[in-house]
Structure 1
Amino acid sequence: MGATGSKLEKALGDQFPEGERYFGLENFGNTCYCNSVLQALYFCVPFREQLLDYYASNKNVGDAEENLLTCLADLFTQISSQKKKTGVIPPKRFVQRVKKQNELFRSYMHQDAHEFLNFLLNELVDILEKESNAAKSSPEVPSTTEKIANGPSRLKMNGVHKEPLVTWVHKNFQGILTNETRCLRCETVTARDETFFDLSLDIEQNSSITSCLKNFSSTETLNAEDKFFCDKCCSLQEAQKRMKIKKPPRILVIHLKRFKYIEQLGRYKKLSYRVVFPMELKLSGTIDDTDSEYSLFAVVVHVGSGPNHGHYVSLVKSHNHWLCFDDENVEMIDESMMQTFFGSAQEYSSNTDHGCTVDGGSTLSFSGLTK
């Protein structure tokens, strides 16, 4: 990091706790999608702390098999235990494991950070669930997971429903949506629950996260060829459909759909629309009609004009200060700069790989304030 590192260290000064670390991550050829997500997760403090606890509890297990969870725990432990406050760490072991685990990430082609986040969280859940099942089969090792309160049931095992398990990944990121459909003839409401790790929102030009969330939960009328089959009426009927948040997650991850398939072009086009995001967010429209309050702590930004090329950087908030993580480079930024990542106010923007100021955030992470 050299001069950049010393400059950052001076900027950090006494404003940050002694134990906090700010390390860039080496790029191994188009691995910025991975680095940006890792930085956002590292500064998701509840997730980081539980991952470090996991490492501390399992580091002495001699026959433990290497997997994505152990590699991630090892990487985060490396960062947090560094003597220096700043520097660069090569996440080589973790990246190698990702490529071994999923052929999608083996090439040097541009990858999608949101797809990688989904893959990683689901993979961590699978590993934790397997470990929990193995622990339950051993009377000497207590289980570290619990039942989900309102989640959907798993498939039957030996004729008996097996309730899904909740891991610390679920506790941090999982929320529950309810898909409600109301028959306009008999007024019967049919509700179906589904879990989520993030909300993917459609975007419009010169809009905001709040308006995108309202559109996500807006009522849609099903008629003509889209009529709903009502079990009570035993026939197709006009209906109203809407999606509501039944259980907000502790960490709210919002993905903005900035890549849209254009039939006339026969390819995906990036939407650099200006979408304003707040530092504090009230999530309304939940089942119990109470607001959940969140504070923004990370934004993953795609820089570039299309889905097949470009660059990812991560903006994170740490102890009331914002920093920009761009692979090996880390710098403090003023909060007022955050608005430059809302996107472009023009319908068509001539983005370049260096056009940070006109490229909008792709994935935003909010931590719950009142949970």
Structure 2
Amino acid sequence: MGAAGSKLEKALGDQFPEGERYFGFENFGNTCYCNSVLQALYFCVPFREQLLEYYTSNKSVADAEENLMTCLADLFSQISSQKKKTGVIAPKRFVQRLKKQNELFRSYMHQDAHEFLNYLLNEVVDILEKEAKATKTEHETSSSSSPEKIANGLKVPQANGVVHKEPIVTWVHNIFQGILTNETRCLRCETVTARDETFLDLSLDIEQNSSITSCLKNFSSTETLHAEDKFFCDKCCSLQEAQKRMKIKKPPHILVIHLKRFKYIEQLGRYKKLSYRVVFPLELKLSNTVEPYADVEYSLFAVVVHVGSGPNHGHYVSLVKSHNHWLFFDDENVEMIEESAVQTFFGSSQEYSSNTDHGYILFYESLGPAK
């Protein structure tokens, strides 16, 4: 990327952000799904900062015990410590570890970037939780004579000799996790039953010529449960017709939205790519939230794009906003693009179009303080 790198440096000139690095990733045979997601995560500043902090404080352990997280931290550290401002890095150690751990990613077939992102974040959570549990066990052992027990690094008073365990909350949860509330209202007695569930990303159904706002409204639209789908109401002690809807109870600091562009078509007996035009705004206001998070605002900072007409072949690239500049990452190549170019990745307004570059995973950062 010598010429391309110098071109990027020239384009940014004295506006090149102090201490920032823009490096393309080498492709090891259909690893673009991995490269595009890693670029989005690298420019997710809170994630990068936490991972580099983890790397610095666990470097001696990382050398002894390699896992997917230490390989990722090592890669991020390599990028951030480069003397050059631009260039190409081979994420070889990370890709080797990924293939070793998960056979799904071993073949040279086209992989799904969303599946990879899900796997990676859950893997990092698992590693952090195991480490937190190990630390907790050490604390408990060292303070077993104390009348209070340590749970996940926090002292939790015992009630009748029972220790109330707090769920482990990692920094991945603090960055990406939101809470959905599933509200079901019995149409006979009007009782509302609410069930909460956590999420690290939102998968949205899409329609032609729509927007993220309308997709979110559909996600939270009211559904009537009747006939065979009746709801068992605890108050009525019987099956009743009910209305159900999903709302965002607590929005995450980083909102990851996955557009369901690959749909199984029964008549065809296979998956088909939906090239629908779905407008994703640079600034997004969430309206389907509960108080006190009404109208929380987000700013788009990364998009993983699927290039191609079908689900089993194609390519992935990413668009990233860094220090108010938009960059286009395509494996080894990195170039600057105008903000207005982002809308060329909304999708096609006609079913048959030569445009095959469509936004697939969107990364939004909350503009307000994390609550």
Change (3 A) 1:63 1:257: closer
TM alignment of 1:217-256, pairs within 5 A: 217-256=220-259
Partner of 1:49 in structure 2? Answer: 49
- Deviation digits for residues 122-168 of structure 1, max 9, x if unmatched? 00000001111111222499999678xxxxxxxxxx98663321111
TM-score scaled by length of structure 1? 0.92
Partner of 1:333 in structure 2? Answer: 337
TM-score scaled by length of structure 2? 0.92
Instruction: Output the CA distance in 2 between the equivalents of 1:297 and 1:347.
Output: 28
Q: Which stretches in structure 1 are left out of the alignment for 5+ residues? A: 148-157, 351-356
Partner of 1:122 in structure 2? Answer: 122
Q: Match of 1:122, SS?
A: helix
Partner of 2:364 in structure 1? Answer: 366
Checking the alignment, whether the CA contact within 8 Å between 1:177 and 1:245 is kept in structure 2 is yes
Checking the alignment, whether the CA contact within 8 Å between 1:146 and 1:167 is kept in structure 2 is no
Q: How far has the Cα of 1:94 moved from its partner?
A: 0.2
Q: Which stretches in structure 2 are left out of the alignment for 5+ residues? A: 144-149, 155-160
Instruction: Output the CA distance in 1 between the equivalents of 2:216 and 2:91.
Output: 35
Checking the alignment, whether the CA contact within 8 Å between 1:203 and 1:256 is kept in structure 2 is yes
Is 1:269 the counterpart of 2:272 in the alignment? yes
TM alignment of 1:1-371, pairs within 5 A: 1-61=1-61, 64-139=64-139, 162-288=165-291, 290-350=294-354, 357-371=355-369
Checking the alignment, whether the CA contact within 8 Å between 1:135 and 1:141 is kept in structure 2 is no
Partner of 1:150 in structure 2? Answer: none
Checking the alignment, whether the CA contact within 8 Å between 1:301 and 1:360 is kept in structure 2 is yes
Work out the percentage of aligned pairs sharing the same amino acid: 84
How large is the RMSD of aligned CA atoms in angstroms?
2.0
Checking the alignment, whether the CA contact within 8 Å between 1:297 and 1:318 is kept in structure 2 is yes
- Deviation digits for residues 331-358 of structure 1, max 9, x if unmatched? 00001111100000002335xxxxxx44
Q: Match of 1:30, SS?
A: coil
Change (3 A) 1:294 1:220: same
Partner of 1:155 in structure 2? Answer: none
- Deviation digits for residues 293-318 of structure 1, max 9, x if unmatched? 11000000000111110000000000
For this pair of structures, how many residues does the alignment match? 355
- Deviation digits for residues 170-192 of structure 1, max 9, x if unmatched? 10000000011000000011111
